[in-house]
């Protein structure tokens, strides 16, 4: 994490301090001249990675309070920029503090416009910071920090004047309901506690007259004045800062205030710069005077820091995911080893049980092959009823046909059991159906008889047999082949006379071959 350093600017010099472990350690003082700026540039070159915060305590300040219509977004930014340009023309070190919306009427918003009205005092130091690419977090003034200090000094008051002593002089800040309204820094040449106390009383009286003139307080209303003083100098302040009807001086122990905010190194006198510096480093106010271009490198550092954080979170997530996956892999390997050991133990038990069996007449592999063959044959076996039913239904449609014999068997050859002959009704050149390898078929050879009364009617014989064959073909998957007709129908055979037909009355037989793939 980068170190934090505080730059304290007053009318005489710029001081640089290191913030470490809740304490400030001064590292250098740089006067407002070319030699001081050059020394400051060398100082920045040695501490480029640090984050710098600047606290200004100068008399050149401006304050304006105005109530504006409530706006948001770009309109709000444009309105505030225009108002700051009107009040503090030529000073880029300006900002606006919102004091909330009014509770009645249009509910307009109240603003405090404030600026550091002496930009040339800051320009050399800001140029050196820009040239060194230093990370400037912001520029604040002591009045902006005063609200935090006042919140630590109970009890809360509706209106009060906070008086503090710094190297720049006597700082007087007027607060109403804990909000800054006005502040003024008066240069002071005296160094004695009595002179400082007298100066505080005199300046408080002047500020009281100014507040009356600006109608920030009502006449006849006493104004509480809180004075921060070193406990060793409290006698001088009590002697000179006496309460009146208009001013009620309240002396507050500076060391007690420092201890209340956690300041470890207590101031040696009534000067309270270290108190305001500590408050700034603890909790910087949101509103500050530096422009975006002056804070460019600090913004880049913040973006880089966020990218590192996001990358670290992503890396941590990946490592956690990888760790979880590694644990899962190790658990899977352990489970696999357990299963292998269990399988090995089961195999040993199985082999031990096998040794107790009586010896087999054949080997285990041979017995397994026989069983597999039997199962294959059993799967290929088929009942004869389906084919018999098909023939029976076809016979029901052909009452003139008598069944002489039916030969049924299983075979790998669909033409098994008969001598292949050409069907009279089969087109010439028709190819035999292809058989699938390792396929089984059920085949049947049907031997049928026609009545003797049809001996002279060869056309009737042909139609009867073909009708019977067509009835069989209506069964899905059944291949029907007429092997033999009651008479020869080949073109090479001669036709017989009617006398010869009468002699072959007892020969009106036909043969049909059936096959079906299982």
Residues 399 and 283 in one domain: no
Rounding to the nearest 10 degrees, give the CA dihedral for residues 239, 241, 247, 253.
-110
Residue whose C-alpha is closest to residue 202's, from 156, 163, 254 = 163
Residues 22 and 132 in one domain: yes
Q: How far apart, in whole angstroms, are the C-alpha atoms of residue 250 and residue 258?
A: 17
For tokens 């606290």, the residue is 55
Beta bridge partners of 184: 172
CA atoms within 13 A on the CB side of 273: 21
Q: How far apart, in whole angstroms, are the C-alpha atoms of residue 467 and residue 56?
A: 122
Q: How far apart are the first and last CA of the chain?
A: 84
Residue whose C-alpha is closest to residue 193's, from 254, 261, 256, 257 = 254
Q: What DSSP state is assigned to residue 279?
A: H
Q: Answer whether residue 350 is part of any domain.
A: no
Cis peptide before 155 (omega within 30 of 0): yes
Residues 273 and 401 in one domain: no
Among 244, 273, 294, the domain-final residue is 294
Q: Answer whether residue 101 is part of any domain.
A: no
Sequential pLDDT tens for the chain (518 residues):
789 999 999 988 999 999 988 888 999 999 999 999 999 999 999 998 899 999 999 999 999 999 999 999 999 999 999 999 999 998 999 999 999 998 888 899 999 999 999 999 999 999 999 999 999 999 999 999 998 898 888 787 889 999 999 988 999 999 998 899 999 999 887 678 899 999 999 999 999 999 999 888 988 889 999 999 999 999 999 998 999 999 999 999 999 999 888 888 888 888 999 999 999 999 999 999 999 999 999 999 889 989 999 999 999 999 999 999 999 999 999 999 999 999 999 999 998 998 888 877 777 788 888 888 888 777 667 778 888 898 999 898 888 888 889 988 887 788 876 654 444 444 444 444 555 566 778 888 999 999 888 888 888 889 999 999 999 999 888 899 988 888 776 555 555 555 554 544 446 898 999 988 87
| Element of type H or E holding 424 | none
Q: Answer whether residue 14 is part of any domain.
A: yes
pLDDT value at residue 435: 58
Q: What CATH number does the domain containing 256 carry?
A: 3.30.420.40
Is the separation of the CB atoms in 181 and 322 below 8 Å? no
Within 10 A of 44 (CB to CB), how many other CB atoms are there?
Answer: 20
Cβ-based neighbours of 214, under 8 Å, separated by 6 or more? 182
Among 267, 294, 321, the domain-final residue is 294
b/e code 229-239 from CB counts within 10 Å (16+ = b): bbeebbebbee
Residue whose C-alpha is closest to residue 163's, from 193, 142, 194 = 142
For tokens 């292998």, the residue is 340
Q: What DSSP state is assigned to residue 271?
A: B
Residues 153 and 267 in one domain: yes
Asked whether the CA dihedral 53, 57, 60, 65 is positive or negative, the reply is positive
Residue 210: give the domain boundaries: 4-60+118-294
Among 243, 259, 294, the domain-final residue is 294
Structure-block tokens of residue 170: 């006597």
Residues 47 and 166 in one domain: yes
Pairing of strands 441-449, 509-517: antiparallel
Q: Answer whether residue 339 is part of any domain.
A: no
Domains identified in the chain, total number = 2
Structure-block tokens of residue 502: 């009468």
Q: Answer whether residue 346 is part of any domain.
A: no
Cβ-based neighbours of 387, under 8 Å, separated by 6 or more? 408, 442, 444, 478, 514, 516
Burial of 149 (0-12, 13-18, 19+ CB in 10 A): buried
Instruction: Report pTM.
Output: 0.64
Is the separation of the CB atoms in 447 and 405 below 8 Å? yes
Structure-block tokens of residue 308: 């590192």
Q: How far apart, in whole angstroms, are the C-alpha atoms of residue 150 and residue 225?
A: 12
Q: How far apart, in whole angstroms, are the C-alpha atoms of residue 182 and residue 206?
A: 13
Note every long-range contact of 393-398, with CB atoms under 8 Å and residues 24 or more positions apart, other chains counting: 393/471, 394/468, 394/471, 394/472, 395/468, 397/467, 397/468, 397/471, 398/464, 398/467, 398/468, 398/471
Q: How far apart, in whole angstroms, are the C-alpha atoms of residue 78 and residue 12?
A: 36
Q: How far apart, in whole angstroms, are the C-alpha atoms of residue 23 and residue 471?
A: 114
Q: Answer whether residue 495 is part of any domain.
A: yes
Chain center to CA of 158: 49
Residues 28 and 156 in one domain: yes
Structure-block tokens of residue 247: 């001013």
DSSP readout, 80-145? Answer: HHHHHHHHSTT---EEEEEEEE-SSTT--EEEEEEEE--GGGTHHHHHHHHHTT-EEEEEEEHHHH
Residues 431 and 287 in one domain: no
R_g over Cα of the chain: 58
Q: Answer whether residue 11 is part of any domain.
A: yes
Is the separation of the CB atoms in 327 and 173 below 8 Å? no
pLDDT value at residue 423: 44
Residues 286 and 416 in one domain: no
Residues 158 and 265 in one domain: yes
Is the separation of the CB atoms in 168 and 58 below 8 Å? yes
Residues 273 and 152 in one domain: yes
pLDDT value at residue 193: 87
Q: How far apart, in whole angstroms, are the C-alpha atoms of residue 483 and residue 425?
A: 11
Q: How far apart, in whole angstroms, are the C-alpha atoms of residue 402 and residue 404?
A: 6
Residues 39 and 167 in one domain: yes
Residues 390 and 287 in one domain: no
Beta bridge partners of 403: 448
Q: Answer whether residue 501 is part of any domain.
A: yes
């Amino acid at each position: 994490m980068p170190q934090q350093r505080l730059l304290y600017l007053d009318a005489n010099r710029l001081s640089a301090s290191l913030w470490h472990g809740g304490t400030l350690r001064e590292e250098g003082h740089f006067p407002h001249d070319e030699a001081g700026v050059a020394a400051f540039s060398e100082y920045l070159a040695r501490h480029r990675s640090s984050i710098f915060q600047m606290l200004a305590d100068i008399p050149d300040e401006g304050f304006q309070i105005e109530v504006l219509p409530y706006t948001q977004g770009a309109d709000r930014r444009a309105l505030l920029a225009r108002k700051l340009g009107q009040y503090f023309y030529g000073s880029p070190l300006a900002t606006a503090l919102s004091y909330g919306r009014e509770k009645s009427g249009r509910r307009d918003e109240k603003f405090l416009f404030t600026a550091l009205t002496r930009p040339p005092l800051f320009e050399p130091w800001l140029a050196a910071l820009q040239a060194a690419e230093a990370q400037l977090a912001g520029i604040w003034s002591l009045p902006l920090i005063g609200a935090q200090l006042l919140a630590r000094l109970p009890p809360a008051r509706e209106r009060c004047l906070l008086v503090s002593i710094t190297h720049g002089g006597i700082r007087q800040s007027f607060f109403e309901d804990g909000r800054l309204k006005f502040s003024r820094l008066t240069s002071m040449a005296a160094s004695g506690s009595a002179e400082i106390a007298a100066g505080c009383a005199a300046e408080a009286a002047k500020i009281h007259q100014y507040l009356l003139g600006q109608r920030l307080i009502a006449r006849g209303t006493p104004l509480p004045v809180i004075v921060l003083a070193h406990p060793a100098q409290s006698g001088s302040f009590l002697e000179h800062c006496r309460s009146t009807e208009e001013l009620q001086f309240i002396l507050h122990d500076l060391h007690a205030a420092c201890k209340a905010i956690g300041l470890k190194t207590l101031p040696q006198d009534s000067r309270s710069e270290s108190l305001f510096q500590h408050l700034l480093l603890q909790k910087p106010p949101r509103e500050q005077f530096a422009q975006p271009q002056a804070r460019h490198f600090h913004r880049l550092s913040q973006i880089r820091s966020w990218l590192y954080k996001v990358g670290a979170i992503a890396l941590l997530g990946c490592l956690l995911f990888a760790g979880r996956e590694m644990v899962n892999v190790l658990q899977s390997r352990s489970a696999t080893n357990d299963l292998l050991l269990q399988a090995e133990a089961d195999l040993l038990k199985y082999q031990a049980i096998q040794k107790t069996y009586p010896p087999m007449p054949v080997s285990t592999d041979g017995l397994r092959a026989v069983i597999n063959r039997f199962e294959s044959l059993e799967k290929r076996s088929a009942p004869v009823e389906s084919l018999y039913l098909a023939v029976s239904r076809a016979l029901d449609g052909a009452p003139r046909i008598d069944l002489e014999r039916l030969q049924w068997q299983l075979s790998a050859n669909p033409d098994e059991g008969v001598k292949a002959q050409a069907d009279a009704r089969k087109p010439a050149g028709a190819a035999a159906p292809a058989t699938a390898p390792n396929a089984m078929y059920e085949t049947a050879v049907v031997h049928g008889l026609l009545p003797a009364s049809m001996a002279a009617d060869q056309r009737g014989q042909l139609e009867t047999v073909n009708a019977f064959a067509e009835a069989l073909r209506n069964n899905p998957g059944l291949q029907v082949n007429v092997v033999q007709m009651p008479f020869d129908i080949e073109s090479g055979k001669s036709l017989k006379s009617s006398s010869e037909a009468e002699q072959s009355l007892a020969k009106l037989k036909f043969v049909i071959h059936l096959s079906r793939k299982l």
